Chains A and B, each alone.
Chain A
């Protein structure tokens, strides 16, 4: 043990912070571990924003856009679950808040000024609830897509996390919320379209939704948002907050004795994840052309989590890639096996959890551990 007296230690020059002594800090491998994530995001950006629009048909591009909306929610789940240890089984609630807010605006846009959405005439007496009125405004809708899930998740998260609810209890609680949310939507057919949800939108902020160029733009916005959120979590993961979040995940009680309230740390991740799910949902409505309770219920929420588990919940790109893969698998398998594809999905989920708990993105580090590696002086 190096012997340094307190007096010696405090006699260090007055510089506030001293440079890290380890020379390995400046090595290429170190540089790669610091910025490798950004390179990965850049590669994904090229694939999604350059390759895909030029190579895929409008239909396939629309599908990829739909997967990207799940991927956006998945990035948030990666943050909350992979790094924060909160198994969020109810992201459908926040996905739904965003998608319904957007869908309400699109319905009102289709109906035209002063008119009410068609289903209200069909199922109700043709009067519109007053809380629909603000969603005529595009800017208000965009604001609500971010603010609504933020407020709801803050209140929910505060109540849940301050009471130190965690583990399976947290998962069950959030799952129950999404069940309640879907049930509420189904029960309020006059206000929310009920089981049918909201559909048949004609325009998106004045643009004709049947125009292939508009569809392409919708895809580009979604893919762009996905890349943006990946950069956001990249910064979060490398920040001190990211380290603190991992520390909270691994030893929550210990964090208390370092002077932090773990509930606050987790709350930030929970709220950010909720906002991401909401934004994903908001893009889902115009791309899919419909939002219904089945898109936001417990099954849909588990789908989101399954994608994240498949990709690798604690990794940077894993959640997004996993969500896209699950979406793709769902489409292609359901084309061939319309009734059995959910079994494939369930089987895949089980295999990943049992054999590869770190997800597909952990394959490389697993291989690295198996292969002989050169000695590194520490």
Chain B
């Protein structure tokens, strides 16, 4: 079943709007997230980036349409959306601190396990978990509680959890925020390695990071789409420049 989707796995958002008691957090959002690229979602604070992801992952109710594999995500519950292959992380890494790194990944890998198998203890480490441990570079820490991990490592663990749950669309909410330059670079390389046939959507404030790793960029402003295109196109866009004028990120964009 997965094979038939190769090359045509995309998430198409049409006329998405989110209304918080009369306040239009986002409206008229039309965007298509294509397979195989690092799609950055940027915009000033309050632009509606996280709200967009919240709506697409069932955390807030939105109107419009968001089609992925013939399912409208806006009509589904959070856990159903995950089972369909759309995963996300949060601005603050939320791993299960009392469980080990391995247990965190094992739980994420288990969403299709039968109830009967859940009642048994884990005898071996599932192959997908072992691979994810290597990919995110936490093999040596597999048996340590996730609570002791450094900030960056927690974010990588979150990415690893998305990998083992085999998310085809990943929304990463400010994953590199608060990371050191070294960690940012490692994270960027990690995302490049895993993107493969996945769709990775990165919400980001760090323009330097965006310019280095983005394949495609969507700019949001005031709850609406402002522009989209490659990094070069976005940087040349006068509208984007005016939105960012006078903010600190202007310098980064021009640089």
Contacts and interface: CB of A to CB of B under 8 A. Distances in A.
Nearest to A251: B94
Given A21-B139, A24-B143, A243 B126 contact: no
Interface stretch (A9-17, A43-51, A69-77): A9-17
Q: Which of B90, B117, B156, B193 has the most CB of A within 10 A?
A: B193
B97 A17 contact: no
A240 interface: yes
A154 to B, nearest CB: 15
A378 B88 CA distance: 30
Contacts of B165: 258-259
Nearest to A263: B79
A4 B163 CA distance: 14
B127 A261 contact: no
B143 A250 contact: no
Interface string B140-170: 1111100000000000100001000100000
* Interface size band for B: 35 or more
B96 A247 contact: yes
B124 A247 contact: no
A19 interface: yes
A290 B239 CA distance: 81
B186 interface: yes
Given A5-B193, A240-B117, A18 B98 contact: no
Contacts of A244: 107, 110, 118
B94 A1 contact: no
Contact of A243 (B87, B94, B106, B196): B106
B122 A15 contact: no
Contact of A378 (B95, B107, B113, B141): B141
B60 interface: no
* Interface size band for A: 35 or more
Interface in A14-35: 15-22, 24
Contacts of B140: 378
Contact of B99 (A4, A20, A239, A243): A243
A18 B131 CA distance: 10
Interface string B70-106: 0000000111001100011010001111110011101
Contact of B82 (A22, A238, A257): A257
A230 interface: no
Contact of B127 (A3, A4, A15, A238): A15
Contact of B88 (A243, A251, A257): A257
A20 B194 CA distance: 23
A143 interface: no
Given A244-B107, A256-B78, A239 B127 contact: no
A19 B87 CA distance: 28
B194 A16 contact: no
A240 B106 contact: yes
Contacts of B97: 250
A15 B107 CA distance: 20
A240 B110 contact: yes
A236 B119 CA distance: 6
Nearest to A254: B94
Given A235-B119, A240-B120, A254-B94, A20 B125 contact: yes
Nearest to B182: A1
A59 interface: no
A1 B57 CA distance: 30
A236 B99 CA distance: 16
Nearest to A5: B193
A179 interface: no
Contacts of A250: 96-99
Nearest to B130: A18
Contacts of A261: 77, 79
B122 A19 contact: no
A157 to B, nearest CB: 16
Given A1-B186, A9-B135, A258-B165, A19 B82 contact: no
A6 interface: yes
Contacts of B99: 243, 246-247, 250
Given A12-B131, A243-B106, A258-B161, A251 B82 contact: no
Given A256-B78, A259-B79, A260-B79, A240 B113 contact: yes
A2 interface: yes
A241 B79 contact: no
B139 A239 contact: no
B31 interface: no
Contacts of B122: 240
Interface string B204-242: 000000000000000000000000000000000000000
Interface of B: 57-58, 77-79, 82-83, 87-88, 90, 94-99, 102-104, 106-108, 110-113, 117-122, 124-127, 130-131, 134-137, 139-144, 156, 161, 165, 186, 189-190, 193-194, 196
Interface of A: 1-6, 9-10, 12, 15-22, 24, 235-236, 238-241, 243-244, 246-247, 250-251, 253-254, 256-261, 378
21 contacts: A1-B156, A2-B139, A4-B131, A9-B131, A9-B135, A17-B125, A17-B126, A21-B142, A240-B106, A240-B119, A243-B103, A246-B98, A247-B104, A250-B98, A256-B82, A257-B79, A258-B82, A258-B165, A259-B83, A259-B111, A261-B77
Given A21-B139, A243-B99, A257-B82, 20 more contacts: A1-B190, A2-B139, A6-B194, A9-B134, A12-B127, A15-B127, A17-B125, A17-B127, A18-B127, A19-B125, A20-B124, A21-B125, A235-B119, A240-B120, A243-B106, A247-B104, A250-B96, A257-B79, A259-B79, A259-B112
